[in-house]
Amino acid sequence: MNISTIRLPLEPNSWRADFPILSRPVRDGQPLVYLDNAATTQRPRQVIQAIVDTYENHYANVHRGIHWLSDQSTDLFEDARQKISKFINANSEQEVIFTTGTTMAINLVARSWGDANIRTGDEILLTEMEHHANLVPWHQLQERTDCRLRHIPITDDGQLNLATLDTLLTDRTRLVSITHVSNVLGTINPVAEIVARAHAAGAIVLVDAAQSAPHSPLDVQQLDADFVAFSGHKMMGPSGVGVLYGKQSLLEAMPPFLGGGNMIRRVKLDRFEPADLPAKFEAGTPPIVPAIGLGAAIDYLLQVGLQKIHDYEQVLTQYAHETLGRIPEFHSLGPAPERKAGIVSFTMDGIHPHDVAQLLDRHGIAVRAGHHCAMPLHKKLGITASSRASFYFYNTPAEIDQLAAALEDALRVFRRR
């Protein structure tokens, strides 16, 4: 691929100027090459400004009708919910629950829906490529209910082996909970197909969209997913806020997860009546400013264009595979680039992944090393750790060249030892 002659789906440099941190020198004055976007993304000035503006001008607790400032804060908070609802094409804002992130969203479903619906011997179908956030809540549910956890295996090239679905989906399967995009392999899973097959077998489906919602268009109605979870901080929003989307009929039938203020209609000394959606699942003071910041991040994402982001990251990923693939010691994990999102996890012959990350850091290049909260997947791959470069639309092909040069340099350092 001759990157200089390709017409890129978007021009990263025209957006980079909005991100103050991307022009901040790191270490000994080197430019930052931020390739750790699957862990968390950076924020543009517009999001930072929305946060500052809320604190400086509109901040109060969100209790409509109490006082003028509180009305402003409530309006901004509910506007953010509306933006998210439109962003994912939910049927109504009632289906958008603010959580602290993907982890809490999945735990909410496991505790509330799980405890109410799962009985001994019922089956929950997961996959071998899940993040711990989509494994441990189900282990805990298994401890409480003695349900059975089953897993869709992965193929040698890191895709879900859907040939196994017919036997794995049984009349005991109640829930299929799957990641849309693997945070290690980058694999984009055929979620719509899995949803259709799960529904045909009588199971509902939760989609972990932590790695997909920030990078490509997400239409919950088109997917027909029953629950979808994602995190604000992976899509340029603040940390401390995330979303659980749920179909209204399911959410209405579920008992509240956390108890406290805001989630009630009425409280007596001996009992309570829960509030309507979405308040029923938002006990206590919600992440007011983070939610407003997430609304600003969504405005920004829509300006860039989700399809363009997806298409551009495809080009970056293909370019990364090609460029890094020329290094004989480099081995990427997961499928061919056309089948993955902008996540390139890899191992290097002769260098431990943590050493790779440390040596790259000397060049101002930020990548992640370790098990990336997917220990069972690494075990399946026969490794304990990997290094991971993950992209966003503000990354450039030149940064991939820098990564390749720094990896060559790391090899030279290790050969000298």
**Residues acting as catalytic residues:** 373
Which of the residues 24 through 43 are near ligand PMP (CB under 6 A)?
Answer: 38
Measured from the CB of residue 242, what is the shortest distance to ligand PMP in angstroms? 6
Measured from the CB of residue 230, what is the shortest distance to ligand PMP in angstroms? 8
* Per-residue binding letters, 225-254, with ligand PMP (x by CB under 6 A): ------x----------x------------
Contacts of residue 149, defined as CB under 8 A and 6 or more positions apart, other chains included, come to 123, 124, 126, 138, 139, 142
Residue with tokens 């490794």: 383
Q: Which of 58, 88, 98, 101 binds ligand PMP (CB under 6 A)?
A: 101
Binding of ligand PMP by 367 (CB under 6 A): no
**CA nearest to 321, candidates 286, 285, 296, 345:** 345
Pick 41 or 73: Cβ nearer ligand PMP = 41
Binding of ligand PMP by 345 (CB under 6 A): no
Measured from the CB of residue 231, what is the shortest distance to ligand PMP in angstroms? 3
Stretch that binds ligand PMP, among 27-35, 137-145, 205-213, 269-277 (CB under 6 A): 205-213
Q: Which of 73, 183, 216, 386 binds ligand PMP (CB under 6 A)?
A: 183
Pick 101 or 278: Cβ nearer ligand PMP = 101
Cβ neighbours of 13 (radius 10 Å): 10
Q: Which of 37, 107, 179, 386 binds ligand PMP (CB under 6 A)?
A: 179
Stretch that binds ligand PMP, among 149-157, 207-215, 244-252, 395-403 (CB under 6 A): 207-215
Measured from the CB of residue 335, what is the shortest distance to ligand PMP in angstroms? 16
CA distance 26 to 32: 6
User: Parallel, antiparallel, or unpaired: how do β-strands 33-34 and 123-127 relate?
Assistant: unpaired
Contacts of residue 29, defined as CB under 8 A and 6 or more positions apart, other chains included, come to none
Q: Which of 133, 204, 333, 403 binds ligand PMP (CB under 6 A)?
A: 133
Amino acid at residue number 321 = H
Pick 58 or 388: Cβ nearer ligand PMP = 388
Residue ranges in contact with ligand PMP by CB under 6 A = 38, 101-103, 131, 133-134, 179, 183, 208, 210-211, 231, 242, 373
